Structure 1
Amino acid sequence: MRIPATLSIGKAIVTATEHGTVLLQLPFDVAVEVTLDGSVRLTNRLLNVAVAFNVDCTKSALLHSIGTIYQTDKAVEIKVKDLIGNNHKTVKMFPVGACFTSASNCLVYIIDEAGVRSTINPFKIASNDFSLDVFYVGYRHGTECVKKCREELADIKHWVTQCNTHSWKYKDIIITQTVDGSTRVSPQWNAVSVVSPHIHSSASLSANRNGSLAVSRGSHSVDYDGKKLFVNYNKIASGFDESGQVALY
């Protein structure tokens, strides 16, 4: 008997894709894709949002209208967008410090145990859709995995709570969507969050263009409110003020 490539499970349309992955298409334009090994990528095409985790959460990606966050085992790369002009800011966290700059600034500022100082040495951050690398690289996918994905569609569990919250379980991954569409991505507030043992991050952008982005990892933190950027390392803080000037906090 031929195993179907698509099933309707609760409010989700579940598909074994031609890429050799399992895809759950949920209401509110939310899609969750999972490899056979367990890496996860969540997207909302309407809001242009993507989030991805590798299997052990040592790598993650968050792409959002207000900025991007790319976490690897060695660094965290952050880019935040200027909501008024084009003075976008970039930050790179390292195990023993951080550096940051802006589009209008020719200097790079470093924060570490020695304090805050400037350098002319630039740093690069990823600019492509790195959520695809986090999701695919090192994990089984491709046409040779399509048959196995079809076989596993029947193993997906679904249940609904008294509050009409729908949940799906595939392998050890549980996907939950509330009645208002919140599935880590909320269609009302354009908000997304990433929480793992290695990083806490969030990004949001409201209808009146008020945005925020925050990242926390160990002794590092970055906060951005759409105008001001705060970069903190081990209680030493600097960044850019509302006018785009370097500030000590």
Structure 2
Amino acid sequence: MADVDAETQTAAHESTPLLPSDRVYLHRLRQSRDFIACHIVKIHGEDSWVWLVRRQLQRFLASKWGHYFVILLVSADISCIFADFLVSLHICEHAGDKDFNLHAWRTANDVLGFVSLAFSCLFMAELLGSIFAFGFDYFRSKFHIFDALVIIAAFIIDVLLRGPLEEAGSLVVVFRLWRIFKIIEEFSTGAADELEELQERIEALEREKDEVVKENQQLRYRTGYAAEGDTTGGTNGHNGGGFGQ
């Protein structure tokens, strides 16, 4: 039974939004009806699979695993961009060398370019998923607006620009590093909030423990007093019987 309760608590903790801003946002979202939510309810209803997918997407994007996934994507994308930049510099420096395998290095550069485009598509999908999950209220946050501009700019650069302009324009994606710093900062804030909540729970449990100890002492006192009264009554009765004889 304890294992089942522990698994239930773990599952609930993993699906609970970690960041304080996300917890507040989800609470407000459940209290209101945005344009997309109204449209889904009107067309499909709250019992439809579309509404279920939206709720699950909200929980994932606002959960700690959603933020870990974003951090992983951003880190991999930044690493890919820097690798592409270094490969391009290496090609420029050694393109005229006699034993330099220009074809292989250009192939590697092209592969990194396609990988960068794939990451841009993933971030665009994440942006569209966030809009679908949270509605246009998602852009009430300045951080979300800035992040959306970076994602759209990077996607346009990867799709439309080629050559030196692409290499220079890809540096825009470096601004995504700010997203990692923002998430880490809110992780710290969320951890501090959870620590404060745990401290309050500990204090409440200590107060309950003191009350239970006090009640236990009172119960023991009453039980002992009653037992003493019974013993005294029994002794008096025995003595009375002796006198009667």
Task: Tell me the TM-score normalised to structure 1 length.
Answer: 0.25
Task: Tell me the TM-score normalised to structure 2 length.
Answer: 0.25
Q: Which has the higher strand share?
A: 1
- Structure number with greater CO (CA < 8 Å, separation at least 6) is 2
